[in-house]
């Protein structure tokens, strides 16, 4: 595994610090000795063929793997300096680290109630406050104008692309500092994909984004850093441009040139 | 020559096919027709009280005077309010007992039990829906009634309470299986989204799963209610079958079903049922 | 009890039970499971 970039990173810019992470599903080891850093206000892309562990790593960053029975983790992940397995309450972690999934899955509730779900879970009940947060999040997701007149209608009536942007607004409403995206555009048409990529580039000004993607062009379009995974190992991680134009590992080069994947 | 044989065979096959086709169609039509025929029959027989004997629907539904005469001339009273309210009270009460337990069991089965435990519990609960009602009635008679008589201030043990409890046990598996099915049908993506926003298990159950499953749960409740309303034997064996209003939990009463079962000339009389029916019940098993 | 008014009254009780079951099944049909169909149409 080779890693290049700045030698030392000041703690304020280091959002995630993954140290010697091993992950087991039962007897099968899905992640092997992962060491990785995610910097603030950057888009970090995780790429690699199916089953390489990139989604697994993503889900470990907000401890969603806790819900998978038989999942065992060894090693450390520091979020803003704190060990997420020992020093942080998982629920509080998820308030700060939000996730957007591959399938757009709004709740069968109104658009307003969907976006207000996160704040309500965090204990906000004041109607005016909720309305403010909902509007702010929908604006940030670039979908306020389309939806402002039907906040009380069911979210299931929206198109796929709209639903995914709604899910992004829902994640934003919880006021996280990090957004994890697990192949957010693979179920969408090219126009919606474009909108969401533009959205990610906008959002990175205020948030840190880690995106798992199957689509190398997407990674090279929007990310600042890219990490290539293969069979549970982090093979190479670098500035996106460097990784795609001048990879150091032969496996990386094979994947990028399409020899497998 | 060959052409003739082929044509003959084709005609034979065609005839066989039309035959089986018409048999199947006839069966299908008969099956669809049967409930209508039953409904028509009941309608004719059941409206006799109003046409032939001149009573009014209001009297039937709301009057408490139940003294129909045994003869063809009529002149008696047919107020069935006692039995109607008996049915409604016992069934409503059985829902009150069964629903919380059913919901808890369904939540446990769909959200909390490990897959191994789930595979064990589901078939067990589903099996309970197949137990003959006479068994419920018999256990109620021999175990529940004496027990209730001991711990509550009731003269007989045969009571509205006993009937409601027996019915609750009978409808519990009905409601639980439907509710658990409805909850398991909630897509994993909604659960993931809720957990991803920082909700814990109870918040997810309360805000996402139960609302999403409410139609299935409602269906389960209504099915349970229908089963409870239609139950004659088990209720008859523990309710005491006194022709009175269900004014007290601890006193006997009657329901629509027990009145029909009892007074249609059947042998059930509270208390004596145990002796001859015990061996029969064992045979049923 | 032979025929006559008593048996007619019991038949009416049976009819009432039948009608109630019908109503319950109709309720299930109207109020059960429609949103799932809506979702599948997406």
Indicate the DSSP class of residue A80.
Answer: T
Exposed/middle/buried for residue B95 (C-beta within 10 Å: 0-12, 13-18, 19+): buried
pLDDT of res. B75: 72
Interchain CB distance below 8 Å, A171 and B196: yes
Residue A101 has a pLDDT of 94
Window from A18-22, A140-144, B46-50, B118-122 with minimum mean pLDDT = B46-50
- B275 and chain A: CB distance < 8 Å anywhere? no
Predicted local confidence at residue C41, as pLDDT: 42
Confidence of residue B47 (pLDDT cuts 50, 70, 90): confident
Chain A residues in contact with B196 by the CB 8 A cut-off are 62, 64, 94, 98-99, 101, 171
- Residue ranges of domains in chain A: 2-256
Helix (H) or strand (E) holding A83: strand A82-83
| pLDDT of C23 over the 50 cut | yes
The C-alpha of A64 sits at a distance from chain B's nearest C-alpha, in angstroms, of 7
Length of chain C: 42
Q: What percent of chain B has pLDDT over 70?
A: 92
State if pTM tops 0.90.
no
- Residue A44: phi, psi to the nearest 5? -105, 125
- Nearest residue in chain B measured CA to CA from C35: B215
Can you give the three-state secondary structure of A5-31, one letter per residue?
A: CCCCCCCCCEEEEEEEEEEEECCEEEE
For A119-145, what is the mean pLDDT? 93
CB contact under 8 A, A103 and B207: no
The answer, yes or no, to whether residue B70 has pLDDT greater than 80, is no
Contact between B256 and C3 under an 8 Å Cβ cutoff? The reply is no
**C-alpha span between A182 and A100 (Å, rounded):** 6
Chain A, nearest residue to B199 by Cα: A121
Each residue's pLDDT tens digit, A223-247: 999 999 999 999 999 999 999 999 9
Which residues of C lie inside 8 Å of B (Cβ-Cβ)? 1-18, 20-21, 24-25, 27-28, 31-36
CA dihedral sign, ordered A152, A153, A156, A160: negative
Instruction: Please provide the average confidence, as pLDDT, over all residues in chain A.
Output: 90
Indicate whether B279 pLDDT > 80.
Answer: no
Residue B284 touches chain C, beta carbons under 8 Å: no
Asked whether the predicted pLDDT for residue B235 surpasses 50, the reply is yes
Tokens encoding B45? 């027989």
Whether B185 and chain C come into contact, CB under 8 Å, resolves to yes
Q: Is C39 on the interface with A (CB under 8 A)?
A: yes
Cβ atoms A236, A70 nearer than 8 A:
no
Q: Which helix (H) or strand (E) holds A212?
A: strand A208-212
Contacts for A145 with CB less than 8 Å, ≥ 6 apart: none
Cβ burial, residue B71 (10 Å; 0-12/13-18/19+): middle
Q: What is the average per-residue pLDDT within A120-136?
A: 93
User: pLDDT value at position C33?
Assistant: 60
* Alpha carbon distance A194, A200 (integer Å): 10
CB A138 within 8 A of CB B161: no
Contact assessment for residue A234 and residue A227, using Cβ atoms and an 8 Å cutoff: yes
**pLDDT class for B265, splitting at 50, 70, 90?**
low
* Backbone angle region of A232, left / alpha / beta, with phi > 0 → left and psi within -120 to 50 → alpha: left
The pLDDT, as a whole number, for residue A107 is 95
Chain B residue numbers with beta carbons less than 8 Å from the beta carbon of C20 are: 229
Angle between helices A111-121 and A160-173 (to 10 degrees): 30
Chain A contact for B195 (CB, 8 A cutoff): yes
Nearest by CB: A117 against B115, B197, B212: B197
Please name the residue ranges forming H helices in chain B: 2-46, 48-51, 57-62, 81-107, 115-128, 133-139, 145-151, 160-184, 188-196, 201-204, 210-230, 233-239, 256-263, 274-284
C24 neighbourhood in chain B, CB within 8 Å: 222, 225-226, 229
Closest Cβ opposite residue B199 in set A99, A121, A171: A121
Inter-chain CB proximity C16 and B256 less than 8 Å = yes
Is pLDDT at C36 greater than 90 in this prediction? no
- pLDDT at B266 > cutoff 70: no
Within 8 A of B75 by CB-CB distance, chain C residues are 5
Q: Closest-CA residue in chain B for A167?
A: B193
The set of chains that have 3 or more CB pairs under 8 A with B is A, C
In terms of C-beta density within 10 A (0-12 exposed, 13-18 middle, 19 or more buried), how is residue A28 classed?
exposed
Contacts of A124 (CB under 8 A, 6+ apart): A130, A133
Tell whether C35 is within 8 A of chain A (Cβ): yes
State the nearest Cα–Cα gap between C42 and chain B, in angstroms.
15
B131–chain C nearest CA distance, Å: 21
Q: Given CATH 3.40.50.300, say whether it is the number of domain A2-256.
A: yes
The predicted model gives A120-124 an average pLDDT of: 92
Contacts of B68 in chain C (CB under 8 A): 4-6, 8-9
Taking only the tens place, the pLDDT of each residue in A190-215 is 999 999 999 999 999 999 999 999 99
* Predicted pLDDT at A68: 86
Burial string for A107-129 (b: 16+ CB within 10 Å, else e) reads: bbbbbbbbbbbbbbbbebeeeee
- Which contacts of B37-46 are long-range, i.e. CB under 8 A and separated by 24 or more positions? B38/C18, B39/C18, B42/C11, B42/C14, B42/C15, B42/C18, B43/C15, B45/C8, B45/C11, B45/C14, B45/C15, B46/C11, B46/C12, B46/C14, B46/C15, B46/C16, B46/C18
> Is C17 in contact with B256 (Cβ distance < 8 A)?
yes
Q: Do B80 and C14 touch (CB under 8 A)?
A: no
Kindly report the number of other CB atoms within 10 A of residue A241's CB atom.
Answer: 12
């Amino acid at each position: 595994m080779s890693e290049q970039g700045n030698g030392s990173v000041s703690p304020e810019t280091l959002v995630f610090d993954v140290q010697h992470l091993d992950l087991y599903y039962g007897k099968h080891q899905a992640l092997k000795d992962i060491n990785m850093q995610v910097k603030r206000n950057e888009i970090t892309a995780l790429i690699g063929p199916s089953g390489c562990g990139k989604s697994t790593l993503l889900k470990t960053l907000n401890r969603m793997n806790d819900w998978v029975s038989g999942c065992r983790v060894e090693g450390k992940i520091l979020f803003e300096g704190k060990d997420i397995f020992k020093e942080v309450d998982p629920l509080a972690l998820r308030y700060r680290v939000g996730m957007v999934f591959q399938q757009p899955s709004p709740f069968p509730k109104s658009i307003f109630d969907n976006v207000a779900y996160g704040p309500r879970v965090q204990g906000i009940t004041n109607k005016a406050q909720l309305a403010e947060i909902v509007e702010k999040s929908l604006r940030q997701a670039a979908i306020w104008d389309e939806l402002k007149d039907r906040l009380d209608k069911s979210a299931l009536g929206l198109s796929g692309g709209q639903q995914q942007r709604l899910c992004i607004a829902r994640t934003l409403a919880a006021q996280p500092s990090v957004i994890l995206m697990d192949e957010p555009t693979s179920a969408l048409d090219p126009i919606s994909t474009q909108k969401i990529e533009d959205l990610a580039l906008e959002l990175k000004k205020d948030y840190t984004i880690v995106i798992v993607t199957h689509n190398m062009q997407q990674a090279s379009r929007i990310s600042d850093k890219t990490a290539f995974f293969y069979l549970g190992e982090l093979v190479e991680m670098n500035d996106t441009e460097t990784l795609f134009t001048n990879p150091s590992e032969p496996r990386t080069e094979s994947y990028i040139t399409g020899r497998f994947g | 020559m060959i052409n003739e044989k082929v044509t003959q065979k084709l005609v034979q096959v065609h005839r066989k096919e039309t035959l089986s086709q018409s048999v199947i169609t006839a069966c299908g039509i008969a099956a669809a027709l049967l409930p209508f025929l039953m409904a028509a029959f009941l309608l004719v027989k059941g409206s006799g009280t109003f046409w032939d004997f001149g009573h009014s629907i209001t009297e039937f539904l709301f009057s408490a005077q139940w003294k129909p005469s045994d003869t063809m001339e009529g002149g008696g009273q047919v107020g069935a309010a006692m039995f109607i309210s008996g049915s409604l009270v016992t069934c409503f009460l059985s829902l009150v007992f069964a629903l919380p337990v059913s919901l808890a069991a369904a939540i446990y089965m769909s959200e909390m039990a490990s897959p191994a435990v789930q595979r064990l519990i589901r078939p067990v609960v589903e099996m309970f829906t197949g137990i003959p009602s006479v068994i419920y009635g018999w256990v109620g008679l021999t175990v529940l009634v004496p027990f209730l008589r001991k711990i509550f201030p009731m003269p007989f043990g045969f009571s509205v309470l006993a009937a409601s409890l027996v019915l609750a046990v009978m409808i519990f598996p009905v409601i639980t299986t439907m509710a658990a099915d409805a909850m398991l049908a909630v897509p994993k993506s909604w659960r993931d989204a809720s957990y991803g926003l920082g909700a814990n298990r109870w918040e997810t159950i309360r805000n996402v799963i139960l609302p999403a499953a409410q139609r299935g749960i409602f269906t389960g409740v209504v099915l349970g209610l229908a089963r409870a309303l239609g139950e004659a034997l088990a209720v008859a064996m523990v309710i005491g079958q006194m022709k009175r209003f269900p004014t007290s939990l601890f006193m006997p009463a009657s329901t629509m079903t027990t009145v029909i079962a009892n007074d249609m000339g059947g042998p059930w009389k509270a208390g004596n049922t145990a002796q001859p029916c015990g061996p029969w019940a064992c045979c049923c098993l | 009890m032979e025929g006559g008014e008593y048996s007619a009254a019991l038949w009416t009780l049976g009819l009432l039970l039948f009608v109630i079951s019908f109503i319950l099944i109709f309720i299930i049909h109207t109020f059960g499971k429609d949103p799932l169909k809506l979702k599948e149409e997406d």
